[in-house]
Structure 1
C-alpha cells in the first residue's frame, strides 16, 4: 500500500473518536435510480490565512457542465464574492456553509459563538448567491452533541463525506489522487476535495478522474438536487 494512503488511514483511525457516526449527519446520498455521486469542494479560510478560489477547478466545472457543491467559510465567501456569485448563477454550483473562519473545533465554542459562526456565514453567502444555505459541514469534521444541536436548530442540515480524498496532503501527486479516488468511489458517495488553493493535486487530477468516472457510468449531482 502506498505510504501516503497508509498515513491517511492511520490518521482517520486516530480521529475516529472525534467523528462519531450519527444518522442525522449525511455521509452518503439516498438511493438513486442511477449511479449518482456528489462532488463537493471545501473553500476554507481561517483568520489571517487568506484563501482564493482555485480557478482551474472552477473553470473545469463550468466548461464540462459538472454540478458540484461548495462548502465555504464566511471569510472565503467575502474574499471571493464576485466569482462565487458567477458560479452560483450558472445553475451548476451551490454554495453552502462551512463556518465563518474555520475553527478546527467548533464544539469548543459556546452556543452564542457557534450561532454567530453560522448566522454570519449564512448572511455572507446570501449576499453572494441571493439564497440562504441549506447545508453545513463542520471544519475538520469535528463536532459534539451540543454543536450538532446548534447547527440543526439554525435550520441547517449537516453533510460530511463518504471517505477522505486526502487532497491537501503535501506529497500527494495527481496520479495518486486519481488512483485513490477511482478505487474508492461507489454509487451514492459524497466526495470531498478542496478549492481554496491548498490542494494542488486536485485541479490537475480532476479532468482524468471525472472522465473515468463518467466512463464507468457515474453521473454527478448537487446536494440540493438529491437531499430533500
Structure 2
C-alpha cells in the first residue's frame, strides 16, 4: 500500500485505528517495525536463529536468547533452509476501553475465520490481547484447546509501547511488562491452553526502550516479513494477492482475527491456503517456524 492511500485510510477511519493499523504498512516515525527489524539491530536480525530454548521438555516452545544488554529478542521470519514453510498469524485485537463498543454489537472476534482454518487444516498462531480473551472467553478457550493453534500475547490493553504509534495510547515503560503479564493471566482465567511465550507489539511499534521495558516479561517479540493489508480492507482478492506475492520460504504473515476491523480476512484465506499449497507450502505455527531457524 503506498503512503498516499495509507494517509486516506488513517484520515477516514481514525476512530478505528487503535485496533491494528500495523497491517496497513510501515511503522510510524521513530518506531521500529518490520522493515527496521529486517536490518541489524541491538535485538538481532529477524532471520537470526534462536540461541536458546525454553525449559527442557519435548513440548516446550523454542525461544530466543536476550539480545545485547538483555534486550528482548525479535523474530520476524524463519529460515529458507526449513523448506517451503509459512506461518500465518492473526492478531485478535481489542483495546482496553472498547467494552462499550462490544456491548453495543461491534464484533471484535471472527469465529468464521477460525472455523475456516480448522476446515482447511491450517496450523496458525493467534496473537491475542487480554481484553479480547476477557470479552470472548469461550472462544479463547476453544482456540487454546485446539492443537492446530497456539495463543501468543498481544498485550492486555493494546496500548502502544512507543510514542507516535497510529494514535494508540502509550504505556509507560514501568507498565509494559505488567501489561503483558496481565494478558497471560487473562488467557489462564479463560481456560486457554497452548499458550506460548511470544509477544507482538501493538501497532508493530517498538524501539530499544520498548525492548528493554519488555525484558522482565521474558518473551520473544514476534514481528513479520509479509504484510497482508487486511486491516480495513474490502477486497478479499487484493488481500490474498498481496500475501501470495510476498510469501517466500520461511515467511511470517500478519493478518487479523477481528470482524469489525478486518472483514474480508476469512474470504482471503479461502484463496491463500489452496494456492500456497499448490506451490508446495506447508503451514506451521510460529513455534515450529522458530524451531526450524535453529
Q: State if a TM-score over 0.5 links the two structures.
A: yes
Residue 39 (structure 1) aligned with residue 91 (structure 2): no
SS in 2 for 1:109: coil
SS in 2 for 1:96: strand
**Aligned-residue CA RMSD (Å):** 2.2
| Higher mean displacement: 37-46 or 142-151 | 142-151
SS in 2 for 1:200: coil
Quote the offset at 1:151 in angstroms.
2.1
Relative distance call for 1:134 and 1:163 in structure 2 (3 A) is same
- Aligned pair count reads 223
Give the match for residue 68 of structure 2: none
Give the match for residue 256 of structure 2: 194
Equivalent residue for 1:6, pick from 2, 12, 16 = 2
Give the match for residue 11 of structure 2: none
Relative distance call for 1:13 and 1:89 in structure 2 (3 A) is closer
- Contact 1:99–1:118 (CA under 8 A) maintained in structure 2: yes
Residues in 1 aligned to 2:172 and 2:108: alpha-carbon distance in whole angstroms: 29
Give the match for residue 240 of structure 2: 178
- Contact 2:108–2:132 (CA under 8 A) maintained in structure 1: yes
1:150-191: per-residue Cα shift (whole Å, max 9, x none)? Answer: 323311100011132111134x40111111111111111100
Give the match for residue 48 of structure 1: 97
Quote the offset at 1:99 in angstroms.
0.7
Relative distance call for 1:147 and 1:17 in structure 2 (3 A) is closer
Relative distance call for 1:14 and 1:208 in structure 2 (3 A) is closer
Structure 2 gaps, min length 5: 8-23, 45-72, 164-169
- Contact 2:153–2:180 (CA under 8 A) maintained in structure 1: yes
1:78-123: per-residue Cα shift (whole Å, max 9, x none)? Answer: 1111112112222001011001111134564333311221110011
Give the match for residue 28 of structure 1: 77
Residue 165 (structure 1) aligned with residue 221 (structure 2): no
Q: Given the two structures, how large is their TM-score scaled by the length of structure 1?
A: 0.88
Relative distance call for 1:13 and 1:224 in structure 2 (3 A) is closer
